[in-house]
Amino acid sequence: MALAVTNAEGEKTLQLEMPVRSWIELSEERLANNFQVLRERAGSATCVLAVVKANAYGHGEEHCAIALAQAGATWFGVADVREGAAVRRALAAAGQSRAEILVMCGLLPEDVPAVTEHRLSVVVWTLDQVTALRSAAGSKLHVEIETGMGRQGVRPGAELDQLLDAISDARLVFAGLMTHFCSAEVVGSARTRQQQTEFERAVQQVHARGLRPHWVHAGASSTLNDPDWDPSWLSQLAESLNAQPMVRCGIALYGYCNPLQGGSPQIAPKLSPVMTWKTRVLDIREMLTGNCIGYDSTFVVTGPMRVALLPVGYADGLRRSLSSTNRREGGWVLIRDSRAPILGRISMNLTMVDVGAIEDVASGDEVILLGDGIDADDHARFAGTISYEILCGIRRP
């Protein structure tokens, strides 16, 4: 369930219910602004596909798709047909029925009816996928070229020729040609250049066959963040096929980018986190010297301390790696705009924080678990991971 609210800064937000007495708030204004940053960087001739897979990176695929459509997005990327169906229904209900939705992570034979029912475009790279789609004649396919990611994709040459023949024989629409870069965070990457060269080879092969897909796309959030990225490279490739260029952006929509290696980021400083995750103080406890906090007594009180109990834990997505000991500082939350350090081990459903330096904290007070002042990058540093995993790991109903 979503509830439209206005936050303290006057921004319109969506408040989404969460289990176990916590919730997230989404800033539609920040989401729209992030989308505009990406459009400006991509260039006026290049379409930005808004990736809303993995429940919009934990933000809520249906709500974000609608907000992004209102901001001007016309293409949406999902992982599978279930997500595609959910996004299609949400957009149709909001009067955005003409939006295009691309299923990016392949399909199984049982997925085919949903492709037709919900007017989904599909990324393909195997003959088996094309065979499964024979019963969905007229469906739009985007062929992924394997250029070095080693994950999805058909190789240029004989494999690509066979796949394109199969698509034509099955009366399916060859709507797009695409690839994905594996080292987009490395400025001046030789690996990226090798991938570009391989993709150029595939484009030339398609051109020689007289085929003209509607779209040519490559690149993601980190690509646009790279100061060396030249948008004209993609535009020229698309122009050679009389196609439109497109980039696929996900994490940057929600206010984050992976750190660049070797250069100054182009879009990251202009982005704002969209999500704020909140809970409330459940109880206040006065702790005495020698009292222990949490499992295995990893934190021992060395002087009188005022501690707040929060009704969230690792089952909700608050990573256990934010725990602390007397010798190791952990993460923190924000109460009344002040840091409250996490004490001891985070439990499955409960967390203790130090509120001794914050005046008049009481049960029921609002707590920011993630947002301005502590974001997904902060959580990721403690967890030894990336912001993607933190955001996707927040539990939803």
Q: Determine the residue type at 10.
A: G
Q: What are the C-alpha distances in Å from 289 to residues 30, 306, 310, 356, 363? A: 45, 11, 22, 14, 23
Active site residue 295: yes
Q: What angle do CA 180, 45, 256 make, to 5 degrees?
A: 50
Extract the tokens encoding 392: 């996707």
Sequence-distant (≥ 6) Cβ neighbours of residue 301 within 8 angstroms: 287, 288, 289, 290, 291, 292, 293
Calpha distance 113→158 (Å, rounded): 30
Whole-number Å distance between alpha carbons of 154 and 127: 10
| Residue 205: strand, helix, or coil | helix
Which residues, listed in sequence order, are joined to residue 293 by a DSSP beta bridge? 299
User: For residues 310 and 21, is the Cβ–Cβ distance under 8 A?
Assistant: no
CA distance 322 to 366: 20
CA 96 vs CA 59, 73, 82, 346: distances in Å: 20, 10, 18, 43
Pairing of strands 283-287, 275-280: unpaired
d(C-alpha 392, C-alpha 83), whole Å: 15
Which among 12, 53, 256, 314 is annotated as catalytic?
A: 53
Distance (Å, whole) CA 224 – CA 151: 22
What is residue 187's three-state secondary structure? coil
Task: Name residue 189's beta-bridge partners.
Answer: none
Q: 12, 295, 314, 388: which one is catalytic?
A: 295
Full DSSP string of 52-74: -HHHHHHT-HHHHHHHHHHTT--
The strands making up 338-343's β-sheet, listed across from edge to edge, are 2-6, 12-17, 22-27, 275-280, 366-370, 332-335, 338-343, 351-354, 305-310, 283-287
Catalytic amino acids? 53, 295
